[in-house]
Amino acid sequence: MSTLSKQARSPGKWLVLFAACLSFFFLNLATFQSLGVVLFSMVKELDWSFKEMGLSFTFLGLACGLSSPLPAMMMRSLGSRLTMVIGSVLLAIGFYLASITHSLLLFYVAMTFLGVGYSFAGNVPSVYLITGWFGRRSARMIGIYLMLGALGASVGPWLVKAIVDAAGGWRGNWQVMTVAALAVGVVSFFLVRDARNKPGASKAAQEQAVADGPEWNPRAAILTPQFMLIAASMTANMLCVTTNSSIALNHLDKLHVSRDTAVDILGGIGFVATFVKALAGRMCESFKPSHITAWGIVLQAVGMIAFAFAATTPLQIACTVAFGTGWGLSYVAGTVVLLDYFGHVTGSRILSIVWFIVSFAAIGPFAAGAIADRYGTFAPVFLIYAALLLILAVPIFAMRKPVNPALADSQLRSTPGSFAKAKTA
């Protein structure tokens, strides 16, 4: 039996998928969604203000977004496995520094390490690995990967609260997370390997390489209108998600909705998005990912409009289902569009540029607060963001796959008399 056939039948790709999903599950469990639970105890003990507490989210988010191009650069020289291991080590350093912190400066440094570690161990190397190993089935697997990440974010707050209670406080939680990050790094070291960079690359990867054709130049790819539209849609997606997470309770309180109901709405949105992300990958195999992205954006807009007036139960259900569904569809399909349009190698690498751009979505909550201060209500925020989503949905639905300049050049050279025709033209 040849090396290729052994590789194609080996369980290696499933072990790689397991390692990638485990890393992303842990990242979402231990960082953004659960940070507020730990900070609740830290603020009381260290006597921090809420403004100082909130700035830690800024350091974490900006470090994550602004460092997102670095993993792609590291992967080219060290490969995906060591890139993810480095990410786990950075996370462990960040968690350890958080566990010994007595000052805001040290905690902000810790959050910066966590943000960079998130980039190195998260989407960029994992999407590259999944597309390399699963080829044409990668859309479905990416959906599963993103779903498990969302599941980690869903269970994180409850699990972290239990750890804080059981470990004797917030320092114990950060210590547990330090050990867990190192354990994830060990799993990545032993299970992760690139499919394309070895002679025995997976059959799926080789078939996908043929289907992709000549590889896109990353610079040429990011200068296309299609890339700019997808980057804009992903930024708008996260703009709405982060804004909703930060202002939803205050907005619903102004509508005389109880705090318990408001928490249920936010939790329901996350649950719906998790479920939809599991289905979105399979849908992208049957329908155009760009169309799914556009419909997801439209549903998000519907959810935002319903959110603006969510004083009644029917509108609360509508905003929960519509926004959660739209979030799940556009998040997964937007990622798949990059792979479909620019190939599975370049597409997975320029994803880091998308997340760099998405980091600017952090302006959403600040803009929302400014609007609320001026008009006394958050309702205009939801309507403005909904209009932005609807404007983006139209060109995204209509856009077509761009022509790879490398493919056009090769066709021109292979056509008899093409040079003379081109020169005459």
- All domains of the chain in start order, with CATH: 10-211 (1.20.1250.20), 218-400 (1.20.1250.20)
Binned average pLDDT, 10 residues per bin, the chain of 425 residues: 43 88 92 73 78 72 84 88 96 96 93 94 88 79 83 78 85 95 96 66 51 73 91 88 73 81 76 83 84 95 93 91 92 87 80 80 71 81 92 93 72 47 38
What pLDDT score was predicted for residue 232? 92
What pLDDT score was predicted for residue 374? 79
What pLDDT score was predicted for residue 34? 72
- What angle is formed at CA 273 by the lines to CA 346 and CA 362, rounded to 5 degrees? 65
**pTM of this prediction?**
0.69
The two three-digit tokens of residue 150, written as one number: 């969302």
The two three-digit tokens of residue 358, written as one number: 């998405």
What angle, 0 to 180 degrees and rounded to 10, lies between the N-to-C axes of helices 363-375 and 225-254?
40
What pLDDT score was predicted for residue 197? 46
Over the chain, what HEC string results?
CCHHHHHHHCCHHHHHHHHHHHHHHHHHHHCHHHHHHHHHHHHHHHCCCHHHHHHHHHHHHHHHHHCCHHHHHHHHHHHHHHHHHHHHHHHHHHHHHHHCCCCHHHHHHHHHHHHHHHHHHCHHHHHHHHHHHHHHHHHHHHHHHHHHHHHHHHHHHHHHHHHHHHCCCHHHHHHHHHHHHHHHHHHHHHHCCCCCCCCCCCHHHHHHHHHHCCCCCHHHHHCCHHHHHHHHHHHHHHHHHHHHHHHHHHHHHHCCCCHHHHHHHHHHHHHHHHHHHHHHHHHHHHCCHHHHHHHHHHHHHHHHHHHHCCCCHHHHHHHHHHHHHHHHHHHHHHHHHHHHHHCHHHHHHHHHHHHHHHHHHHHHHHHHHHHHHHHCCCHHHHHHHHHHHHHHHHHHHHCCCCCCHHHHHHHHHHCCCHHHHHHHC
Q: Residue 78: CB partners within 8 Å, gap ≥ 6?
A: 86
Q: Are 383 and 308 in contact (CB under 8 A)?
A: yes
Measure the CA–CA gap between 14 and 283, rounded to whole angstroms: 21
